[in-house]
Copies of this chain bind each other. A is one copy, B any other.
Amino acid sequence: MTLTADAKGVYVISVTPFTDSGEIDFDSLDRVVDFYFDKGADGLTILGMMGEAPKLTQAESRAVADRVIRRAGGKPVVVGVSAPGLAAIGELGRAVMDMGAAGCMVTTPGSLKTDPQIHGYFAQVARTLGDDVPIVLQDFPLSTGVHISDEVLGRIIDEVPQVVMLKHEDWPGLAKITRLRAAEAEGRRRISVLCGNGGVFLPEEIARGADGAMTGFGFPEMLADVVRLAAAGDMDRAQDIFDAYLPLVRYEQQPGAGLAVRKYVLAKRGAIGSAALRAPGAGLAREAIAEVERLLARQEKRLKELN
């Protein structure tokens, strides 16, 4: 199952479960993969920042990829392969494609300073990975410090056919989706646009022309429902669902702390065995747990009102 520019729906950014002592918990990994698909995911994305990828050794990264791809049973799994150098990107990228990954996600290293450098980088990445490897371009300036203008994005799409998907998390980024779709209406090759940023603008993003979400959340069913409803034009119901979850979405958006919230919720829901982050990540403080529990209780009540 190889990624194409027609991809749509929800590709959940998967957590990597650890035991309380910091070992990878492969049983929980199986369980959370099942959980994501049960809740409506169309695919998964692993080894991203929210998957704690930089804390894994290379051997662990491969083991995680292998386990998830096999568990997914043919459903698409995108693998984050960003690394400081092209050789490491090529090494991991080819390894996971051999395992059956659907494509590779690559973001911009902070060393890229000018638009020609950004464009040139993706051309190099594509040459390194090879003609047959679909690339997801992750556009996440808040984290990378690299801003991709409409012109550069267009040039990459024009000249690097392997780029089949944009993981959109520029912020603010609604107008960027509109301009991208307008350029496609005038003849540019159409690519898939899945949105990140924890889904905080998801209803508007779908209405602007995005094809879905590629992000994480303790309740992935919200992502699936909102994408389905908004794509079907039922914006009011989509926004009702979204608004019910929004207080928690907002709370999960805190950098660093947000992943601890997400794992707390997933563990509480039984999707993983432990909420532990691998060091140097830390779990939730007592006050934060109380805040999350309060939001969860309110969310449950609000969802009942909606049904």
Contact = CB atoms under 8 A, between A and B. Distances in A.
B255 A171 contact: yes
Contacts of A172: 254-258
B86 A55 contact: yes
Contacts of A113: 141, 147
A151 interface: yes
Per DSSP, chain A at the interface is helix
Contact of A115 (B54, B110, B151, B251): B151
A60 B86 contact: no
Count of identical protomers in the assembly: 4
Given A124-B280, A149-B114, A246-B247, A85 B55 contact: yes
Interface string A81-125: 001111110110000000000000000001001111100110010
A243 B239 contact: no
Q: How large is the interface on A (under 10, 10 to 19, 20 to 34, 35 or more residues)?
A: 35 or more
Choose among A113, A117, A204 the residue with the greatest number of B CB atoms under 10 Å from its CB: A204
A56 B85 contact: yes
Contacts of A250: 200-201, 246, 250
A53 to B, nearest CB: 8
11 contacts: A54-B88, A57-B90, A113-B141, A114-B147, A114-B152, A121-B280, A124-B280, A172-B257, A172-B258, A174-B291, A239-B298
For the complex of A and B, list the 8 residue pairs with the smallest distance between their C-beta atoms, beginning with the closest.
Answer: A172-B254, A113-B147, A54-B85, A114-B149, A54-B84, A115-B115, A55-B85, A57-B91
